[in-house]
């Protein structure tokens, strides 16, 4: 499955999750529920993956973590906030660059309509 196919599947499961539980929960609740559904679909999912910061060839463990990595191709950053800020988009793009991945989803579950809270962030993805 390529990145676009994975993102389509993830978005469908995220919409179903949001339909079932709605907004207002902690990010960790959405993360664990989405990871459960993705694994149930037969996908490889890693949670809270450490993201090292490399500066001048020195690898520094500074506490950055990727919420979910699906099939080692798609990064998912989960939020449950009143509104996304520009830094949320920048954060995911930086994670994509540092991990050399091509596609990420930024999902804000604290949205009345989840479709308004899903954003695709690309890093040199060939369509």
Predicted confidence (pLDDT) per residue in 22-66, tens digit:
999 999 999 999 999 999 999 999 999 988 888 888 888 777 899
Using the predicted structure, report yes or no on whether residue 104 has a pLDDT greater than 80.
yes
pLDDT at 62: 79
d(CA 34, CA 90): 23
pLDDT at 58: 86
Region 3-8: what's the mean pLDDT?
95
Q: 125 pLDDT band (50/70/90 cuts)?
A: low
Query: Which pTM value belongs to this model?
Result: 0.92
pLDDT at 63: 75
Nearest to 72 by CA among 45, 39, 32: 45
Torsion sign across C-alpha atoms 83, 119, 62, 67: positive
Using the predicted structure, report yes or no on whether residue 127 has a pLDDT greater than 70.
no
Task: Parse the chain into domains and list their residue ranges.
Answer: 3-122
Cβ–Cβ < 8 Å for 51, 65 = yes
Please give the class, per CATH, of domain 3-122: alpha beta
Based on the number of CB atoms within 10 Å of its own CB, is 35 exposed (0-12), middle (13-18) or buried (19 or more)? buried
């Amino acid at each position: 499955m390529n990145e676009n196919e994975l993102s389509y599947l993830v978005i469908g499961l995220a919409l179903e999750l949001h339909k079932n539980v709605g907004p207002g929960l902690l990010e960790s609740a959405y993360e664990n529920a989405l990871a459960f559904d993705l694994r149930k679909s037969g996908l490889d999912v890693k949670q809270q993956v450490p993201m090292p910061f490399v500066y001048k060839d020195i690898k520094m463990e500074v506490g950055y973590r990727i919420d979910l990595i699906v099939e080692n191709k798609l990064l998912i950053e989960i939020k449950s906030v009143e509104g996304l800020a520009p830094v949320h988009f920048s954060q995911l793009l930086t994670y994509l660059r540092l991990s050399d991945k091509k596609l990420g989803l930024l999902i804000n579950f604290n949205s009345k309509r989840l479709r308004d809270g899903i954003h695709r962030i690309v890093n040199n993805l060939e369509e």
